[in-house]
A and B are shown apart, each in its own frame.
Chain A
Amino acid sequence: MADRAASGWAGAFARRAPARARRPLGPATSTRVVRTLKGLAGIAIAIAIWELIRALGVVPSAYVPGVGSILSAGVEDFGSQLAPAIGETLKAWAVGLAITVPAGLVLGVAVGLSRWADAALRVTVEFLRPVPSVALIPIAVLVFGVSLRMQLLLIVYACLWPVFFNVRFAVQGVDPLLLDTARVAGLSRLATIRRVVLPSTLPALFTGLRIASSIALVLAVSAELITGAPGLGKLIVDAQGAMQIPLSYAAVFVTGIVGFLLNAAFTALDRRALPWTVAARGERA
């Protein structure tokens, strides 16, 4: 969805990309260093604002600890509390994505290629997709109890959509000339899918994967928060309940950092794996 709207900006990027490539290495590197420094300064300013709000007494300071105590709580309990919680959350995230991505890819290709499959599933999909995924938490708990499988059900349900829609849209957008060429060349249907359709849908698959990755994290943490399945969400609640407020804040920040790093990793992977498409698609979606 975001991609289609973002494609309007493709022109701007396409014009900029070659200029960037031609720029000599020196200034580009120093530009990057300056950018990083400015970003770090921005983080420092954000921390200063946090402390200022505390100092002004706008919020009860017992409930909004200083950055120092959040940091020390995070460092102190990293091995005993935070690291295992990160591991549990990432386990649900990874297994969930590992199930969803192949499923979404197969479904997307099938529906993208077959007009009848598309027509048959259209109404069902239109009604299933708007159900907010977290609304299924109680049902998932009923069926699977508080377990990894419960989390997986939620993650797969929520993440299937971005992968499926991105792939389907890309398959339907494959240049008909390529398909005709494949037919004339005598490729079988399977070979056409493998050598023509799949490569053309890779960029969309990566976009879907990146969106799915962030949704999977939201679902994993949310489910832990409500059901008490082990992970970062449970740690945030437990630490708050035990009045270990700084640890609770530390867990929230770690959750954000995990999300930030996952997003950065997928963006970098996207650029490295498919450099020829990044300029054409715009840098974010």
Chain B
Amino acid sequence: MSAVRLRGGKVAPALLGWVVAALLLLLWQLYAESAQELYLPTFTDSAGAAWDLLTGATLTSDVLPSVGRFALGYVVGCAVGVAVGTPLGYLRPLEPWVRPVLEFLRALPATAILPLALLVLGANGGMRVAVIAFGACWPVLLNALDGARHVDPVLVETGRVSGLGRFAILRRIVLPASLPQIFAGLRIALGIALIVMVLSEMYGASSGLGFEILNAQRRFMVPETYGGVLVLGLVGWSVSVLFTRVERRALAWHIGRTGGRSGA
């Protein structure tokens, strides 16, 4: 940021953000205590329920399996997306053949296939991982495709002149050069995978974070419902922070070249 922005100091604005957040939580607490609304538990009750969820038996029966399925589905979906999308973009003549089908699959809300996946694959963890991977795959695939299509032709020609084979060009030139666009797709896929993870556990499931939240609501265990949402927020926040770190590291060369405009 500019010098003018820095003059006010960085500490005061950062502090202000925390103060506002704390005030909002306090407001929630006080309002919930005084209003005694059936559907609004206090913040402390909700946080307590979240703590129980994270420290009780549910940690190994619900929380960790959920995160595991999310991670596995996300990684598989992204790997497929990169592995298929990059060559498709590099082999330019193929693109018009596959574009409409791929755009359709990306536009299809992945959660909509859950009932049919349940039918075909059964109500098990593998099905949920498959649907998460399905949802994560398309934005990565299309971004990898577009990234590979727009790699500077000079780079590719240089590789060819240097005697690199097709696969070597793909792996050592096209893939690294499309990384910024691939990471944009990976970021979108992260949010989608999380949504699909939660919803897949709300549909025909008997464990997992999504199941716990829905189950708590159906039994009118209101603080537990809010607690589950808090835990999911924590999970979402953690993977987002982790992603930003990985992205910074992977795209360090790119951020340096573009003055840090395209990272984070």
A255 and B101 contact, CB distance less than 8 A: no
Contact of B222 among A41, A130, A131, A142 (CB under 8 A): A142
Closest chain B residue to A241 by CB distance?
Answer: B115
CB of B199 within 8 A of CB of A225, answer yes
Give the contacts of B210-264 with A (CB-CB under 8 A): 210, 213-214, 216-217, 222, 225-226, 228-229, 232-233, 236-237, 239-240, 254, 258, 261-262
Q: Is A55 an interface residue (CB 8 A)?
A: no
Alpha-carbon distance A19/B214, docked complex (angstroms):
55
Residues of A within 8 A of B107 (CB): 214, 256, 259-260, 262-263
Would A9 and B181 count as touching, CB distance under 8 A? Answer: yes
Give the chain A neighbours of B99 by CB distance below 8 A: 39, 42
Q: How far is the CA of A120 from the CA of B20 in the complex (A)?
A: 6
A-B contacts, CB under 8 A, total: 209
Contact A252 B116 (CB under 8 A): yes
Task: Say whether A245 contacts B97, CB under 8 Å.
Answer: no
Is the beta-carbon distance between A255 and B108 smaller than 8 angstroms? yes
Separation of A2 and B147 alpha carbons in the complex (Å): 12
Q: Are B229 and A139 in contact (CB under 8 A)?
A: yes
Proximity string of chain B (36-69) to chain A, C-beta cutoff 8 Å, 1 when within and 0 when not: 0001000000000000000000000000000000
How far, in Å, is A135 (CB) from chain B's closest CB? 4
Residues of B within 8 A of A255 (CB): 108-109, 112
- Interfacial residues, chain A to chain B (CB-CB below 8 A): 1-2, 4-9, 12-13, 34-35, 38-43, 45-46, 59-60, 63-64, 115-116, 118-124, 126-128, 130-139, 141-143, 214, 217-218, 221-222, 225-226, 232-233, 236-237, 240, 245, 248-249, 251-252, 255-257, 259-260, 262-263, 284
Given contact pairs A42-B99, A138-B217, A257-B104, enumerate 8 new A-B contacts (beta carbons under 8 Å).
Answer: A5-B180, A60-B120, A124-B24, A131-B232, A132-B233, A217-B109, A236-B112, A236-B116
Q: List 6 A-B contacts (CB under 8 A).
A: A35-B96, A39-B96, A42-B101, A130-B240, A132-B232, A218-B195
